[in-house]
Amino acid sequence: MSNARWVVAVALTLGCRTEPAPSTKGTPMSKRILIATTSHAEKGHTGQKTGAYLPEVAHPWDVFTKAGYTVEFASVKGGPVPLDGVDDPDEISRAFVGGAALAALHASQKSDTVDPSRYDAIFFAGGHGTMWDLPGDPGFTALTARIFERGGVVAAVCHGPAALVEVKLSNGEYLVAGKDVSAFTNEEEEAVGLTKVVPFLLEDRLKARGARFVGAPKWRSQVVVSGRLVTGQNPASAAAVARSVVQVLAG
């Protein structure tokens, strides 16, 4: 099945609008995906710890590695990554923290040192920490635009799309403008009691950047494919976003 036909099939399955994916034919593929994370460890001034949400790192890592991709890691500051969701890990998360992957995560590249030509895709994991340091981070903002414009896939889940709100392409337009996008919804932020803690509401900011926001009832898995932009709504969507990335790359 062609890439464009596959995207339409996914859209029909998910019940959302989308657009055909631009062809990546002729683009060298490295079989390498970058998982990008926050370096921020506190929810505002609450004293509550946060960071990258472990299942949103571990589950995509599991999907990507099983699909034959080499996975590397980057964070805003580089080095160790603060993690949330570690208290009661599921089987895949236990495998991640019990193996070499955790050491690789904690040796993450600094965002402004990453070579975009090495990667077929960048995947932004969520976790509330992302809301403070990913938006407008110069390293990730430039890296994301360059990966996308050279034919790569940009993906994010839950609060991970916070990394996309300031990304502009070489034509001056926001990456998300005119595209179908999902992310942690206002309803979900209200349900966890953090609407007054986060610096902005992600759903609202994406809409302000021209995205067509596609939300589902809270906590339901939701994946939206819009060309080479793949986004998911919440932690339940993490593995499904990763599988969609693999399928878009496969064409």
- The reply to whether 72 belongs to the active site is no
Q: Which residue has the tokens 């570690």?
A: 86
Among the listed residues 159, 166, 188, 203, the single catalytic one is: 159
Among the listed residues 158, 166, 188, 203, the single catalytic one is: 158
Element spanning 154, H or E: strand 153-157
**Sign of the CA dihedral 48, 240, 220, 229?**
positive
Backbone angles phi, psi at 243, to 5 degrees: -65, -40
User: Which residues have CB under 8 Å from 232's CB, separation 6+?
Assistant: 156, 157, 158, 182, 183, 221, 222, 223, 224, 238, 240, 241
Query: In the numeric block, which tokens belong to residue 188?
Result: 């979900």
The answer to whether 62 and 98 have CB atoms below 8 angstroms apart is no
Q: Is 168 exposed, middle or buried (0-12, 13-18, 19+ CB in 10 A)?
A: middle
CA–CA distance, 206 with 188 (Å, rounded to integer): 15
- The reply to whether 158 belongs to the active site is yes
Give the count of alpha carbons within 13 A of 91, CB side only.
0
Backbone angles phi, psi at 221, to 5 degrees: -60, 130
Angle at the Cα of 210 (from 116 to 197), degrees rounded to 5?
Answer: 85
- The reply to whether 159 belongs to the active site is yes
- What is the 8-class DSSP label of residue 21? P
Residues with a known catalytic role: 158-159, 189
